[in-house]
Structure 1
Amino acid sequence: MKTIINKFKFCTLILLVAFSCTEIGDDPAFNTSASERSSEAVTEIKATLTEPTEGWIFEYYPHDLQIYGGYNYILSFDDNNMVDVYSERQADFSIPETSSYDILSIGGPVLTFDTYNSVMHEFSTPSAAEYQAKGGDYEFILSHTDVEDVLNARGTVSDNNLKLIKLTESPQSYLTKVKEIVDYLDGAIYALTIDGEKVQVPAVNRNLTFPGSGTEEDIMIAFIYTPTGVKLYNSITVDGNEITEFTLDKDNNQLVSIDGSTILDILSPPLNVNQDWKIDIFGADDVSDAVYNTFVDVYNANGATWGETLSNIISFGNTRAGTGIEMFSIATISTGSGYSAGYNTEFPLLISEPSLLSIVRTTPGTNWQWYGHLDPMIAVIVDNQPYELEGTPAEDPTVVKLTSTTDSDVWFTIRR
């Protein structure tokens, strides 16, 4: 028995010596070492990145759950490890921001933007409020795909599967087309017809929520705008049809899937709530007695609770704290300093009555735990929805009167 063990130890030692004489990662099937192959892969991917004259479209999704949707970047690499970065989020995307890049060999070619670039690092730069930033990446594992002129880029932080697509026109031309689609669809609400019935497909933060089939849960999927419409982060199946991308049909005001199987009607909400609207309670003839009297009650309650003066201006729609209704409690009259308090709401489209504005509560907003005594003001607005609208031209209103369809004594004017 002892002899067998000693022989086993001897054979193991021979194997270890033989292994130590071979570079880790070497494979007899290859004529070069692993390190040489890694170096060749880096050289080859760099040649691929620097080859296009106009650069690459980078379809970028920050955060591992893609909660911010996707954004178009244009990346133009040169041989000196410098890159020009353009983004649809730039106020002026005719001028790129230039910084350095590198390609590392870490189990494969890894593209890293290794010096700060405010455009490229927007979603990955932490702040006091967001110590993990917005879950964005600045390093990406690159690999080829089966499609010519398309590279895979997997985020090392988010693990999102992204795409680099060879650009065949100028960055400015491409991003201008994208912006035209964004502007056309801004604030749009979508409806999908299933079994003859229209069902709303909410669009929030570049995420669409499609209804599930039967007992299946709804499907939320991030999307990115393209020069011709929108593209989904992943293919999904809706009502038995697999869909990935939609083309905008302006003539019929629809988004149509590439194969034509799925059509989203583009509906315009009665009011663009993504604007800075205000209600002036003390404005001449701007509110009904029912709204005014409710405000007086919460004004007095606020004074009794905190000894603060409640501002007569109420934010409505796209407030500083979120989408909803926000009030301001003035602690010091001389300086005008104080505290905002609000309640978040949504404004879902009423498919059966698209001309009416619907308002529903969602969650308490900033400082609401301290200002719950203001709730009657939220209630008089939300509980009397939906509202009929009248005011300046609908294409770009600045003054709109909202009258409750459930209680005509409740009405108020919003201005921006």
Structure 2
Amino acid sequence: MLWNWLSGSRKLSYPSGHCENVFQTKFIPFTDDRTIITSGADGQVRLGQILENGKVETKRLGRHHGRVYKLAVLPGDPNVFYSCGEDGFVQHFDIRSNSATMVLYSSPFTQGCRRHHSSSRIRLNSIAIDPRNSYYLAVGGSDEYARVYDTRRVQLAPVCRHVLPDAPVNTFCPRHLRETNSVHITGLAYSKAGELLVSYNDELIYLFEKNMGYGSSPVSVSPEKLQEMEEPQVYIGHRNAQTVKGVNFFGPNDEYVTSGSDCGHIFIWKKKGGKLVRAMVSDRRVVNQLESHPHIPLLASCGIEKSVKLWTPMSNDVLSLPEKIDKVMELNRVGREDQSRVTLTPDVIMHVLRLQRRQTSAFTERRYVSTDIGSDEGNDAHFIASLVANDDESSDRECTVS
């Protein structure tokens, strides 16, 4: 669905061709917002073309064996983008062709160079491209290491299920999480300065400078070298357990770090120093993703509810945090540190989300207004719109699905 966010009106809705949840949609740059790529739980990567007559043509560009949470568009190129999947592959797409090529394959470092099989892959959740060097791809998934690959060192080849794993040029992980086998990465983001932001499931968010990496083989780093390495900046307060959450920067120079939380809040920290500066109630349940407008101070949030919410700063004053936020953060901390918790796999998460959708579909969708959100007194970020999907509305646009 596409909205005019200023008026809150829906401009276009078309069948994507996906058979299950659509996890991400992106406009391809320099196409007048007429070319859209999508990925989903069915493993498909699809292309949608909005034609001059208002019709939409879609086609499948490629497919992973497993869910595809994230896509990454090559900066400055209207044709090339990448996908990462739970099968451990990163695929390369050129929309001028009708097929994908496999760029690289990720496997655990403890597996050495054994050939790929289902138990040795890293189930990839996130991918990001370094804006200062577009040859560098960062990926994160089902272990504790964020891997950075140089695409010039890997060979494009037809997608294949039996390949040797590729060696990264650098790896990142907080020292205390190394070889713990208890956490995984759900979100990655690069800043304009080339810093790498990493969000961990039921752990915290960390900001890595380029000199904080372990190189291509983190398991071979000596204890002496580990003690000499600088620790990354950490961001505390949220909880990331129930879903595959993203993480992002905010501000014209990426001055802030943003994340959703299981408690339904949006958390905003100062990038430098990690101070929490804003916590806003967004959803009644989980907030999954936050995306900022590329040119103006506007933030979009969404979760497992059916609405997308838009936020913008409305005050130049520095105001205090909500009174109850300390209690919220303490509950999040206790939940994170409860060693008796059961770790939710992506399969369990998807099952829970399906049950929640079935339950809520029995009720009439409530359209939110700003008073519904429960804004905290003294909040200097103003909720300006809610874009709500209505399953009962049919599209008045034609669509060709292939």
TM-score (norm 1): 0.24
- Return the index of the structure with the highest Cα Rg: 1
TM-score by length of 2: 0.24
Higher relative contact order (CA 8 A, sep 6+): 2
Is the helix fraction higher in 1 or 2? 1
